[in-house]
Structure 1
């Protein structure tokens, strides 16, 4: 984490800052490549599905998760209240685009889910995202609901659901490169590269969520 004090940053803080930059590069690479591939041939059918889910889950949802990072150069100067507002907006738009992308494909397939790993994970992410969005609303209204559920439990459940949604969506993205016909023409080496970038983005984005879960579980047990 980047220190806001005048003391020199530690080696760990430099490493975390470098990992943050690497993560942004991976997210940008995946988002730009998929967007270019889909937009240049027209947003219809499965290409619209691929663009919506990529832009929603890989870009907006990841950025929404990272806006609370102390080493986030984009939001580190904002107050906690402003970070929360940015997080809510990005998650709503990201989750909404991801859900819309899944719905478009489900309707196109007459609500039949294929037996591929990509389709199975994608459907799981679709369901979890819907539940996560509802839990996010409950988390925002945590104080008003404090008589029914304590805010800490409410927010912990939301972090777990959001984290699970993101990881499963990213894994669906990973398998989609090889199991979706629109990406075959890019070549096997490039598919490997984009898969690696997707996994790196998934792991690095998840660090903050895991730290948050660790702190919340410590608070619940204390």
Structure 2
């Protein structure tokens, strides 16, 4: 646990904490609803794909990205080392599930990519996620590789890659509600609601990553 002395809470910290709670509600809503929709029926084919990518990208990857977020009341009391450990575990699990979900769908489609925007974005997220996991491993071992690769440069590259992979995965999720047929019986209004909630959680989850990227670019520039 962190040994830092308690500091007065600013207005900005209150706002960040409120946004964090809203984001957790959005993540929970999407994850729980899709899990229930997929698990209450035969978990195979497109439903298995949908559940794996949702649980991996929407839940685990988003939670992993927010480990360092100042407004996270789940990790705010932990030291940097604990947050890094949580981040690594969640990203590996989330990225692994997301990649597995994409692989399952690629195998079902005989390794061909559909012309739909959902499929193309999903494939892009799949590739970027694989590279991001590799760059994350390098970032984790940055001190050992400091003579070969600058730790700051590598971590900056990792943040950019992970952020891009997450955003593309959320866009694929967005179009998946209308292009996969899973929600055909839910009604158009509910599909729109799912799309809006997904976009909200994408934006709120990205705040921490954008702040981190800004700080790292500032450090590189100086």
Distance 1:36 1:19 in 2: 25
Query: In the TM superposition, what are the counterparts of 1:36-75 in structure 2 within 5 Å?
Result: 36-75=36-75
2:15 aligns with: 15
Distance 1:59 1:20 in 2: 14
Distance 2:76 2:7 in 1: 15
Following superposition, the deviation at residue 48 of structure 1 comes to 0.1
Following superposition, the deviation at residue 13 of structure 1 comes to 1.9
Query: Is 1:111–2:99 an aligned residue pair?
Result: no
Distance 2:119 2:5 in 1: 44
Following superposition, the deviation at residue 6 of structure 1 comes to 4.1
Distance 1:14 1:40 in 2: 38
TM-score, scaled to structure 1: 0.97
Deviations 1:26-80 (A, max 9, x none): 0000000000000011210000000000000000000000011121111111111
Deviations 1:75-94 (A, max 9, x none): 11111101100000000000
Structure 2 residue runs without a partner (length 5+): none
Following superposition, the deviation at residue 4 of structure 1 comes to 6.2
Task: State the SS of the aligned residue for 1:82.
Answer: helix
Q: Contact 2:16–2:70 at 8 Å: present in 1 too?
A: no
Following superposition, the deviation at residue 11 of structure 1 comes to 2.3
Distance 1:118 1:221 in 2: 37
TM-score, scaled to structure 2: 0.97
Task: State the SS of the aligned residue for 1:112.
Answer: coil
Deviations 1:98-117 (A, max 9, x none): 00000000000000100101
Following superposition, the deviation at residue 14 of structure 1 comes to 1.6
Distance 1:209 1:181 in 2: 32
2:6 aligns with: 5
